[in-house]
Amino acid sequence: MMKQILNRYIKTSGLAGLVMLAVPLMAKGQASSGSGNAVAFTEEELLLGFALFLAATLVIAVLGLLFAVIGLTRVMSGKALINPASGLEESGVQAEESSFWKDIKQKLTDAVPVDQEEKVMTDHEYDGIRELDNSLPPWWKALFYATIVFSVFYLAGYHVFGWAELQDAEYNTEVAEAKARIDAYMASKGGALNESNVTYLEDEAALAEGKSIFNANCTACHGAELQGTVGPNLADEYWIHGGSVGDIFKTIRDGVPSKGMISWKAQLSPEQIQKVSSYIISMEGTNPPNAKDPQGEIFER
């Protein structure tokens, strides 16, 4: 009987194992058919893979539990023994295997049988509840020792030999990788412009375009004359986040979300940000009426 339960359990696990094997393969297929570059998995793919892996693990656990419960109910209700064709054989096997199963259970738990409880009964008693001095289950102790062994390898690996990076270093590596990806993306968009190489554009056409970008997006908070309303005055020499063309470019691209200035990189291309930055600089010193008081540090151009 127990053999059957075990058999079924193994078959189920095998099936779930196949699913688990298929997951990374599927993810891999997706990664290579997707963008055509054979780099690493993207974060979403990894997350998806992990979610599927968890789901598969859950499937194993649930199915295993289900079969175990079904098997147990059958044994307990005596159904498993009722087999007219081979009643004798079945019950013979049953006795043998259940003792085998019992052995395993005994080895795992090292529990004192209920009828011999007196042997491990302590004199501790609380409201009629007596305490047994059972030993710790060996499976639990084994896990505990395993963690100690693991910790030795962990300590040696991470702190002595440096086989793998510690959190800080790992974080820095990932940030550097992400930055490289952003740069590559920016370059692929043709907009390799960034705060360190952006220049002030003087030509009329660029400034006119900058003005129309400003009028379409920015006047609500900075005023049509750049005099400042919700946002600061952009026509004076004072800057909260720096007044160089690179600083202004960066403020517009990344925004100051905590202060109500959004990041414009989704709406405006780097070239457009360069033009609107240039327009803002060209308006410096125009002294619009109702100008908002200066904020930040003075910037000498």
Name the site residues for ligand HEC (rule: CB under 6 A).
214, 217-218, 220-222, 230-232, 234, 239-241, 248, 251-252, 256, 259-261, 264, 276, 280, 295-296
Question: Residues 33, 35, 41, 44: what is their CA dihedral angle, to the nearest 10 degrees?
Answer: -100
Six-digit token pair at 51?
């979610």
* Closer Cβ to ligand HEC, 5 or 292, answer by number: 292
Nearest to 15 by CA among 80, 67, 90, 74: 67
* Closer Cβ to ligand HEC, 33 or 258, answer by number: 258
Nearest to 264 by CA among 226, 228, 299, 214: 214
The CB-of-276 to ligand HEC minimum distance in angstroms stands at 5
The CB-of-192 to ligand HEC minimum distance in angstroms stands at 21
Q: Tell me how far apart the alpha carbons of residues 210 and 277 are, in angstroms, rounded to a whole number.
A: 7
The CB-of-47 to ligand HEC minimum distance in angstroms stands at 32
* Closer Cβ to ligand HEC, 31 or 277, answer by number: 277
Rg of the chain (C-alpha set): 35
The CB-of-282 to ligand HEC minimum distance in angstroms stands at 13
* Closer Cβ to ligand HEC, 173 or 287, answer by number: 287
Q: Tell me how far apart the alpha carbons of residues 134 and 121 are, in angstroms, rounded to a whole number.
A: 9
The CB-of-24 to ligand HEC minimum distance in angstroms stands at 44
Q: Tell me how far apart the alpha carbons of residues 70 and 125 are, in angstroms, rounded to a whole number.
A: 38
* Closer Cβ to ligand HEC, 56 or 234, answer by number: 234
